[in-house]
Amino acid sequence: MIELTDIEKRFGDNLVLKGVNLRIPEGSVTALIGPSGGGKSTLLRCINLLEIPTSGKIRVGEETLEFHPGMKLGWRDIRRLRSQTGMVFQNFQLFPHRTAIENVMEGLVAVLKWPKAKARERGLELLEKVGLAHKADAWPATLSGGQQQRVAIARALALSPRVLLCDEPTSALDPELAGEVVEVLTQLAREGTTMVIATHDLRLASRIAQQAAFLDAGSIVEIGSAQHIFSNPERERTKRFVATLLQDANGQ
């Protein structure tokens, strides 16, 4: 279970998240949708403490942290919570000087101190899972965008996180390459991987999410089952936004 309680995030005088409350059941997929600048990516980054909330409480599994304005969070606390999350970024963020398998192995060797042979075996299993075992020794620059994102997903899964956080995982890809990533995430969803995905991709969100939350101006405007949010939202603001997603999807 991941639970966010009254999460507020300020950058100086700019209030980016306004008392966000969200429960993410174990084994479920939650889609965060909303306009650019609405707070989706900041919320994701708060879950794994790439951004430290100004106030509120985060629970991931058995770990709970509370935040207050002006408090200093210790690295041990950050690492304790972050170790339970895996992050997939919009622009892949692979190490360009490491091969695909070395990118996946990095956390196992550097963080968990696994022997390289054991880490390579685990890395190959994960590359097989995302359909790229045959590209294990390829450099990122030689891979397509879709392949790079699939390597990034394998890397995020390497430390067996409790939750996989995906920040616009298909937005940097053309529709065909995005389809490769959607297939991988769909399979992970079938296997019961807990995921939170910030996305504008209606195909991805509607296909694999059980729950959807619409964020606008730093607040959750509406939350419910993904089917309900995409087919019959209650709030007028949500209706307008979902209509734009449908137009974009039909235009592809």
On whether residue 187 sits in a domain, the answer given is: yes
Does 77 reside within a domain? yes
Predicted local distance difference test score (pLDDT) of residue 247:
74
> Do 212 and 30 touch, CB atoms closer than 8 A?
yes
Describe the strand order of the beta sheet including 195-198 as a list of residue ranges.
Answer: 85-88, 163-167, 195-198, 29-33, 211-216, 219-225
- pLDDT profile of the chain (252 residues), mean per 10: 94 94 95 93 94 95 91 88 92 94 95 94 96 96 95 95 94 88 94 94 88 95 93 92 78 57
Of the residues 123, 143, 160, which one is the last residue of a structural domain? 160
CATH of the domain at 221: 3.40.50.300
- Phi first, then psi, for residue 48 (nearest 5°) are -105, 15
The domain tally of the chain equals 2
- Decide if 222 is inside a domain: yes
Domain range spanning residue 115? Answer: 94-160
User: Does residue 234 sit within a domain?
Assistant: yes
Say how far residue 232 (Cα) sits from the centre of its chain: 25
Residue for token pair 């769909």: 186
Q: Which pLDDT does position 1 carry in this prediction? A: 81
Does 119 fall in a domain? yes
Q: Within this chain, do residues 216 and 144 fall inside the same structural domain, yes or no?
A: no
Question: How far is residue 246 CA from its own chain's centroid?
Answer: 22
**What's the confidence (pLDDT) of residue 249?**
65
Q: Does 226 lie in the same domain as 177?
A: yes
Chosen domain end from 160, 186, 208: 160
Does 53 share its domain with 173?
yes
The answer on 127 and 224 residing in a single domain is no
DSSP reduced 3-state for 55: strand
> Is 206 contained in some domain?
yes
89 domain-assigned: no
- Check whether residue 76 and residue 179 sit in a common domain: yes
